Structure 1
Amino acid sequence: METGALQGLFNQKTTQQVKTAEFRPGQIINGKILKLYPDQVAEVQVGNQKMIAKLETPLSANERYWFQVQPGEGKVHLKVIGSGSEDKVQPGSMAKILGEFAMQPTKENLELVRFFIKEQLPVNRELLKQAAEWLSMADSRSAGQDAIKLILTRGFPVTKAAFDALYTTTKEQSLVQLMDKLEKTLDTAWNSAASTSLKQLLNEMLPSSKIMNSEATVNNLAAIWLKRKGQESQVALELLKQFGAITSKSTESNLLQQMLVRLQSLSAIGDEFPEGLNFAKNIITLIGNGDNSTARQMISNLIPEKTFLANELAESLKLLFYRTSGKEAEAKQGLQAFKQLISMVSDGESLSVLMGEKDTWRQAGVDLLKVAGQPQSGNFTGLHTQLLSEAAAKAEQPAPLQDTGTALLTDTRIKQFLSALGLSYEQQLSEVLKDGEIGKAQVSETLKSLVLRLLNENPPPAVKEAAEMVLNKLTGFQLLSQEAGPIQQLVVQIPFMLGGKTNELTMQWSGKKTEDGKIDADFCRVLFYLKLKHLDDVIVDMQVQNRIMSVQIFNENPTLRKMAEEMTPVLKLKLAEIDYHLSSVHFHVPGQSQTGRNQRSLADFYGQKDYSGVDIKI
């Protein structure tokens, strides 16, 4: 994925420095003769390394040459195949290099040799021929070269499978785009057990504006029922029943009673429940325990300008606990007070949580959107159509940035998405096969396991192609997420909704593990890459040392610093709440201080893995 935002991201070389211990027969290197000794022995500098080498022909001191490493014991044996500097190779030398490998000096082969020479990558005849064959079948030679570089610099298997995985990973299409493409081909071309399960999983993993709008539409209709009075409230409730969001036979009192029981039964409200329900549950609990004064004060904090209403509401809520037979009016008054309380702390989403019917709620929203804006028909009155159109129109408005971000990129959602990918599929499969006993844990259904099952069913060509691309992308992430020495690395792309559109966040986490094998959150480094509609490419480089965090942000927009100033105190406060200290936030416009590196690829973003102690160099 070529992007100007990655240019000069780090002021360090991305090419691997050649070391004496890495020299292998067949490798082509560029070196400078420093000193000459008898018997054609010379001191040669290659990159930042100096070594004593045996030369096959006499050479001149202080000159640069192209060498090919030869087989031999003891000193490194070098064969001269051309002269010139690292960044300039004479055409005759290039042809001679190809001649050493018995390859024709075609345009593509010459370009390939230049690539190996520029990156100082180890190469021999078999590797060069393999690389030429792989690149001939690649749509993007630059992405193919990035994949080859990753294979050789990261020590991955030199196989077609590894190349395909890394090539797909570094290409333009993101994991989210490939998943979306696969979902569409499954909808139109194929139906099997694996495809059905896969469609369901993709639907759960991929956020979409259609799903988001459908949920928002039914939430808005629920808010009308909760917050408004008279006919509008009753018509909104009728629409919720008609489209299946709630049971059609439930009266309003029965519905409120069910919501109250559900709220009271929640012993611990987790991340997926709106914060307002915690507040309402505490008030109900206090009143149930007879602590009316504290409950009254909490309600007063919601409506400080109307203390008398808070007192009335608290008194009415007491009727929820002191009902007796024959007191239907008091019971209804208590439930209406409960409805008023929920309306004060919720915008409608609480109803689906309290009813515990998330799938039903979502489907109701889909059905609501289908008829929203259509002419009146059936039992719809003018008010039905008006409220339905109002709920749908409000759903189509982009959510505020802070609401969208916090709702869709929580740690819980990220963990769920990573777990569903199946990046540890092979490890799980190995453990299951090793146990080999009935009743042992089975491999969970993940994106990778289901894609593999689908491919085993010999699907149509379009489905097969889309599935293989997703599989290669996942395998590429697995390769890039392996341990490098003491450092554990994780590379992945995560979807989220922003402004009503699906975006993806590319994240690379690097750090040590603790003694119990968990991520060390005190010392780590995380890179975030986003491509946004107005800001274009954004890189966030976050470094954590002993829970002290520094952040660097790279973007072409020079005004981004000013735009973000008002958010920095909020960031510092939120980090302090989870015991992190923000030391600095710096903004950079890429390319201002460097020339000659106008573009960088995600291969550079993925590929850097140097480290020193706990200070990770990515």
Structure 2
Amino acid sequence: MQSITSGQSVSSPIEIKGSTSLKNGQILFGKVNRIYPNQTTEVQIGHQKMIATLDIPLQAGEMYWFQVQQPNEGKVVLKVLDSPNVNFSSLKGAAAQLLSHLGISPEPEAASLAEYLLKNQLPITKDTFLSALQWVKTADAVEYGLSIIKRMILQQLPFVEDVFVALLAQAKGEPFHKLLSGLQQQLQDSVSETSVKLKGVLDSLHVAKQDQLQQTGLQKLVTTWIDSSASPELKTGAFSLLQKTGFVPMGITEDGFLEKLVVESSEISGSTKNSVTDKLQQGLQLLSDAKNGTLGKVEKVEYSLNRLLNGLDYVEAETSTEIKLIQQKTISTEELSALASRLLERTFAEASAGNKIAGADIEVNDLIAHLNKDTEKVTESKGKVTELLIQSLKRRPETLSVTNAEKLVLTQVLETEFKTIDFTNGASVAQQLKEWTKMLGLQLEHALANMSGDGLEDLTKDLETLKPLYLNF
């Protein structure tokens, strides 16, 4: 029950050698060790001892409830509180006595708070207790609320509700991008000048937008499925999600779907507007020829496919009778699907590599369309993927009917989507943090403090950032 500063500014603390500060109005539970003349006593609070002046004579060796009064010539003045007829040999009994002294009804939340403050030896005044009790009741989880009260007292933070609410949000561990997404959602219907600017800042901070996920969500599932470096669990989860969203027919296996792509490629003729899609189409037709045993001018399927992927021309070669006999053999489904998967991985990687160029994502969309030529089905699938990602982002597992492998894929897609910085590059990290600091408006006070007549233009820029815009709104 050692006393520490309560964070209240109503009175100056009384410094006691060997202990922490006491403040007027605090309630303490302690033992009288020795009695000195003029009602001066050695009182022990927890492990700390102090010399105090008491308002009435007491008996050495007994335990009492005390309340700190105004100082008297530098000494601690303690008022003795009457102990109600409650057994204080236990923590619950001591908490009940405390509530009685404070004049507070012994409801469950109040009893829990009293026990927590006593157990952690935190200072107690009626004002701080009532405030803490109100805040804890509003917290989603009592344990969060109690730990935050302790943190506010120990770190001497302002004992006000706004600080409690902010720390509660932090304690829940909600991702920053999720908080920003929630703010953006609340601003959707607002058309004021400030809110429009605020939404623009949120967009620049890479807040998740439905149309953004609409464009990239399905692509991420496909590339995860065909990624040769991905774990079997991820690949299985991604393919399963492609089936659940209607992009891939239900009931078909991965090998079966790849074989279907190869077979259907023979029905497509002509070239497209971009080279990557042409490369995919040529590769699938090559594998179709291999499946049918009509290779003609190439010696090996894999050799020819590699030349195609590397942008090289076919090599005409004289083939021996033995090689021709090998060529006539039917390629197995496993071999065919492995080559088709490699073809998809390489072409999607090539298209994605150019995504930093404006409009380059068209190539990826063309590849998507090549895998499923039903445009309505693809649009529907994109919508379903987006909905799954949004629900996963909002952490609403009850609305998702997905397996653990599928949840793993959704989590990875979102992490990739929000990854905006290469943490292996120190210069990149430093530059990104500087940009975020500016956009978040964390330098607002510094800018105001150092404002000069010639710096009004720069100050205007500082006011167009998240913090000042949010405060203004």
TM-score (norm 2): 0.51
- CA–CA distance in structure 1, aligned partners of residues 411 and 174 of structure 2: 27
Corresponding pairs, count: 343
1:89 aligns with 2:78: no
The secondary structure found in structure 2 opposite 1:184 is helix
TM-score (norm 1): 0.41
Q: Provide closer, same or farther for how the CA distance between residues 316 and 136 of structure 1 changes in structure 2, counting only shifts above 3 A.
A: closer
1:452 aligns with 2:471: yes
The secondary structure found in structure 2 opposite 1:65 is strand
1:274 aligns with: none
Percentage of matched positions with identical amino acids? 24
- CA–CA distance in structure 2, aligned partners of residues 22 and 362 of structure 1: 67
Higher strand share: 1
1:20 aligns with: 19
1:155 aligns with 2:156: yes
Q: Provide closer, same or farther for how the CA distance between residues 220 and 384 of structure 1 changes in structure 2, counting only shifts above 3 A.
A: farther
Matches within 5 A, 1:218-617: 218=219, 232=265, 251-253=273-275, 308-309=303-304, 312=307, 317=312, 346=346, 348=348, 350-357=350-357, 361=361, 383-385=373-375, 388=378, 400=409, 404=413, 407=416, 412=421, 420=436, 425-432=441-448, 434-436=450-452, 437-440=455-458, 442-443=461-462, 446-453=465-472, 455=473
**Matching residue's letter, 1:192:** S
Per-residue CA distance 1:13-41 (angstroms, 9 max, x = gap): 99979962312222222223344445444
2:401 aligns with: none
- CA–CA distance in structure 1, aligned partners of residues 374 and 177 of structure 2: 38
Q: Provide closer, same or farther for how the CA distance between residues 31 and 14 of structure 1 changes in structure 2, counting only shifts above 3 A.
A: closer
- CA–CA distance in structure 2, aligned partners of residues 314 and 364 of structure 1: 16
- CA–CA distance in structure 1, aligned partners of residues 4 and 301 of structure 2: 70
- CA–CA distance in structure 1, aligned partners of residues 40 and 104 of structure 2: 32
Q: Structure 1: 5+ residue runs without aligned partners?
A: 1-12, 99-103, 239-249, 258-304, 320-339, 373-379, 456-618
Per-residue CA distance 1:87-137 (angstroms, 9 max, x = gap): 232756643x33xxxxx54456965666654543334465456556x5499
- CA–CA distance in structure 2, aligned partners of residues 141 and 399 of structure 1: 27
Matches within 5 A, 1:44-83: 44-72=43-71, 73-83=73-83
- Displacement of 1:354 after TM fit? 0.9
- Displacement of 1:69 after TM fit? 1.9
Per-residue CA distance 1:132-182 (angstroms, 9 max, x = gap): 6x5499466946555443332211123444344335545697766554443
Q: Provide closer, same or farther for how the CA distance between residues 417 and 343 of structure 1 changes in structure 2, counting only shifts above 3 A.
A: farther
- CA–CA distance in structure 1, aligned partners of residues 270 and 57 of structure 2: 94
Matches within 5 A, 1:107-256: 107=106, 111=111, 116-124=117-125, 127-128=128-129, 135=135, 138=138, 142=142, 146-170=147-171, 178-187=179-188, 189-199=189-199, 202=202, 205-207=206-208, 211-212=212-213, 214-218=215-219, 232=265, 251-253=273-275
Per-residue CA distance 1:172-207 (angstroms, 9 max, x = gap): 9776655444333333x3223443444455566445
Q: Is the 8 A contact 1:34 1:42 kept in 2?
A: yes
Q: Is the 8 A contact 1:30 1:64 kept in 2?
A: yes
Q: Provide closer, same or farther for how the CA distance between residues 219 and 168 of structure 1 changes in structure 2, counting only shifts above 3 A.
A: closer
The secondary structure found in structure 1 opposite 2:59 is coil
Per-residue CA distance 1:316-339 (angstroms, 9 max, x = gap): 6499xxxxxxxxxxxxxxxxxxxx
- CA–CA distance in structure 1, aligned partners of residues 116 and 221 of structure 2: 57
Q: Is the 8 A contact 1:421 1:448 kept in 2?
A: no
- Displacement of 1:343 after TM fit? 5.1
Q: Provide closer, same or farther for how the CA distance between residues 347 and 186 of structure 1 changes in structure 2, counting only shifts above 3 A.
A: farther
Q: Radius of gyration: which is bigger?
A: 2
Q: Structure 2: 5+ residue runs without aligned partners?
A: 7-17, 227-256, 280-299, 315-339, 389-405, 424-428
State the superposition RMSD in angstroms: 5.9
- CA–CA distance in structure 1, aligned partners of residues 186 and 363 of structure 2: 22
Q: Provide closer, same or farther for how the CA distance between residues 15 and 127 of structure 1 changes in structure 2, counting only shifts above 3 A.
A: closer
The secondary structure found in structure 1 opposite 2:68 is strand
- CA–CA distance in structure 2, aligned partners of residues 113 and 419 of structure 1: 46
Higher helix share: 2
- CA–CA distance in structure 2, aligned partners of residues 363 and 316 of structure 1: 17
The secondary structure found in structure 2 opposite 1:52 is strand
Higher relative contact order (CA 8 A, sep 6+): 1
- Displacement of 1:215 after TM fit? 1.1
Q: Is the 8 A contact 2:135 2:161 kept in 1?
A: no
1:582 aligns with: none
Q: Is the 8 A contact 2:52 2:78 kept in 1?
A: yes
- CA–CA distance in structure 2, aligned partners of residues 24 and 353 of structure 1: 65
Q: Is the 8 A contact 2:5 2:20 kept in 1?
A: no
**Matching residue's letter, 1:217:** L
